[in-house]
């Protein structure tokens, strides 16, 4: 049986340089707690972390052995009334417990891959919230760790556990509706602006060094903690790779099975928060309105639309649509033949998923020691996350242009123009964004090599700088060759 020597891989815990030595444990998938129970550590307890506690804690096969959070107040609140459950600010203490079988990760995005990688190196299974990576490179390292250490890693994309969604994609892959042309995802839900907060000292109950972890955040301000970190590039990925990860993953799922990454992408958007008639007036960095597109080697496309605004009559959409080469389309799981406004109900057979929903399916996969039982394994997670990362990277190196329907110069492509105009008209007519006064950020078209996971050609030098985030000392994502 293969063993892992994990001696010395954990360094820098709690800001020290002391190494922690961990006993070697079996990594053939049979790492079970006492009485065939899974002993778990939940890492990140605010917000989504509460769902992890409830989801895994409600499974009789699970023992919640550790709760982890750098905010002392949050940690104390979650530990209250729990017997035989230890707490820590540092997830590496939980990894050092030889009796822990698995961790779940609900920390901010910049922690997701490092926790996943170190869990795999420690022989622990891992359930990681979406997105599984904060950048392209660390997602590749996490995938390499999944392959090397043979642990179960499941991505927090719940629709992967939905047999009906799986069945719909089976029908698309089998060609029931003809050849798929465009797989479209929407993340259009109301969100307010975050204003501007002055930098200051972190509260005493927060271990700011551990909260930052791998991210080179310059200074503390209250917009980071505990939710608005999503809207800063050092810690989040915007709603495209936040809520949108679910719809991105589903959009890529419908693309032909032999496709991995796109070969070209572009994006356009902005951060439109109207405060006293001054548009783009808060300190968030990520777009709250965005249209992006990516083409795969076989000519299929993924389109994506982010709209985080609100007004009376605002069309909320957190969903997926599918457009076929013959002109047919699927909207809200009903099929519309070419030129018809009459929807046809689709008879969708149940697709193959591990039963039990996202929580119980992960536990079952861990107890069975079967990586491929995970509903959304690390490799599939990587493909979906990279799709969002490359779209974001186009936006991040984009240039300002007047807010108008010519901003993206999409008039020559009928499909792109049609769907860009869905976004533009809603922002102009619904939100009242003033044409030629506000600004779009228009990203360049970028070429991407699926094999090397690098940008090529024009603008590639600037775009490739965004593929791998710089890390703080003691919290480095390892080189892929050394994982």
Q: Per-residue pLDDT tens for 87-103?
A: 999 999 999 999 999 99
Task: Please state, in angstroms and rounded to a whole number, the distance separating the CA atoms of residues 91 and 210.
Answer: 9
Looking at per-residue pLDDT, the higher value among 28 and 79 belongs to 79
pLDDT at 27 over 50: no
What are the DSSP calls for 35-88, one per residue?
GG-EEEEEE--STHHHHHHHHHHT-TTEEEEEEE-SBHHHHHHHHTT-TT-EEE
pTM score, whole prediction: 0.91
Confidence of residue 14 (pLDDT cuts 50, 70, 90): very low
Q: Which two tokens stand for residue 143?
A: 């995938």
Confidence of residue 26 (pLDDT cuts 50, 70, 90): very low
Average pLDDT over residues 252-278: 88
Q: What is the mean pLDDT of the chain?
A: 91
For residue 3, the model assigns a pLDDT of 31
Domain ranges of the chain: 13-160, 162-352+378-476
Task: Please state, in angstroms and rounded to a whole number, the distance separating the CA atoms of residues 113 and 149.
Answer: 15
pLDDT at 4 over 80: no
Assess contact for 279 and 273: CB atoms under 8 A: yes
Determine the topology of domain 13-160 in CATH: Rossmann fold (3.40.50)
For residue 110, the model assigns a pLDDT of 98
pLDDT at 384 over 90: yes
Looking at per-residue pLDDT, the higher value among 362 and 197 belongs to 362
For residue 280, the model assigns a pLDDT of 65
Comparing 29-33, 48-52, 174-178, 466-470, the range with the smallest average pLDDT is 29-33
Long-range contacts of range 425-433, CB-CB < 8 Å, 24 or more positions apart? 426/307, 426/309, 426/314, 426/315, 427/272, 427/289, 427/307, 427/309, 427/403, 428/403, 430/309, 430/311, 430/313, 430/314, 431/272, 431/274, 431/309, 431/311, 432/274, 432/311, 433/272, 433/274, 433/279, 433/403
For residue 36, the model assigns a pLDDT of 85
pLDDT at 35 over 70: no
Query: pLDDT per residue over 317-352, tens digit each?
Result: 999 999 999 999 999 999 999 999 999 999 999 999
pLDDT at 8 over 80: no
Same fold flag, 13-160 and 162-352+378-476: no
Confidence of residue 278 (pLDDT cuts 50, 70, 90): low
- The dihedral built from the CA positions of residue 228, 229, 233 and 237, taken in this order, carries a sign that is negative
What are the DSSP calls for 436-460, one per residue?
TTSEEEEPPPEEEETTTTEEESTTH
Helix (H) or strand (E) holding 429: none
Q: How far lies 331's CA from each of 151, 165, 204, 319, 336, in Å?
A: 37, 13, 50, 9, 8
Percent of the chain with pLDDT over 70: 91
Task: Please state, in angstroms and rounded to a whole number, the distance separating the CA atoms of residues 440 and 442.
Answer: 6
Confidence of residue 12 (pLDDT cuts 50, 70, 90): very low
Average pLDDT over residues 395-413: 91
For residue 279, the model assigns a pLDDT of 61
Confidence of residue 15 (pLDDT cuts 50, 70, 90): very low
Determine the CATH number of domain 162-352+378-476: 3.30.360.10
For residue 16, the model assigns a pLDDT of 31
């Amino acid at each position: 049986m293969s063993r892992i020597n994990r001696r010395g891989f954990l360094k820098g815990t709690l800001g020290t340089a002391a190494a922690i030595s961990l006993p070697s444990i079996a990594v053939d998938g049979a790492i079970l707690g006492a009485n065939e129970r899974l002993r778990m550590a939940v890492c990140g307890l605010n917000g989504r972390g509460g769902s992890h506690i409830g989801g895994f804690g409600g499974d009789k096969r699970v023992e919640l052995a550790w709760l982890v959070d750098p905010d002392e107040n949050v940690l104390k609140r979650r530990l209250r009334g729990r017997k035989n459950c230890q707490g820590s600010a540092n997830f590496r203490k939980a990894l050092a417990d030889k009796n822990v079988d698995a961790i779940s990760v609900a920390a901010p995005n910049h922690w997701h891959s490092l926790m996943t990688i170190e869990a795999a190196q420690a022989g622990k299974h891992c359930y990681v919230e979406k997105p599984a990576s904060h950048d392209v490179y660390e997602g590749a390292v996490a995938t390499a760790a999944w392959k090397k250490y043979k642990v179960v890693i499941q991505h927090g994309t719940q629709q992967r556990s939905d047999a009906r969604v799986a069945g719909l994609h089976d029908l698309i892959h089998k060609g029931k509706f003809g050849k798929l042309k465009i797989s479209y995802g929407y993340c259009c839900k109301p969100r307010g602006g975050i204003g501007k907060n002055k930098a200051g000292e972190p509260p005493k109950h927060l271990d700011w060094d551990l909260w930052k972890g791998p991210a080179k955040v310059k200074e503390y301000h209250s917009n980071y903690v505990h939710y608005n970190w999503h809207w800063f590039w050092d810690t989040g990925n915007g709603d495209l790779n936040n809520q949108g990860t679910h719809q991105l993953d589903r959009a890529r799922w419908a693309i032909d099975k032999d496709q991995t990454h796109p070969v070209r992408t572009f994006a356009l958007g902005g951060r439109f928060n109207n405060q006293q008639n001054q548009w783009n007036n808060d300190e968030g960095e990520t777009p709250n309105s965005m249209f992006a597109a990516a083409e795969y080697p076989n000519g299929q496309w993924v389109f994506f639309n982010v709209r985080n605004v609100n007004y009376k009559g605002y069309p909320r959409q957190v969903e997926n649509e599918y457009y076929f080469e013959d002109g047919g389309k699927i909207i809200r799981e009903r099929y519309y033949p070419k030129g018809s406004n009459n929807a046809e109900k689709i008879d969708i057979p149940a697709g193959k998923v591990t039963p039990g929903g996202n929580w119980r399916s992960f536990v079952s996969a861990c107890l069975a020691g079967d990586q491929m039982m995970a509903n959304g394994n690390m490799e599939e997670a990587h493909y979906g996350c990279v799709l969002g990362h490359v779209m974001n990277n186009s936006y991040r190196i984009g240039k300002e242009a007047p807010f108008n329907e010519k901003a993206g110069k999409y008039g020559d492509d009928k499909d792109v123009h049609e769907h860009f105009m869905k976004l533009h008209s809603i922002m102009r007519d619904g939100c009242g964004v003033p044409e030629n006064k506000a600004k779009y950020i228009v990203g360049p078209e970028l070429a991407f090599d699926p094999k090397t996971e690098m940008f090529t050609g024009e603008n590639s030098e600037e775009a490739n700088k965004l593929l791998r985030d710089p890390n703080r000392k003691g919290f480095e994502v390892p080189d892929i060759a050394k994982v």
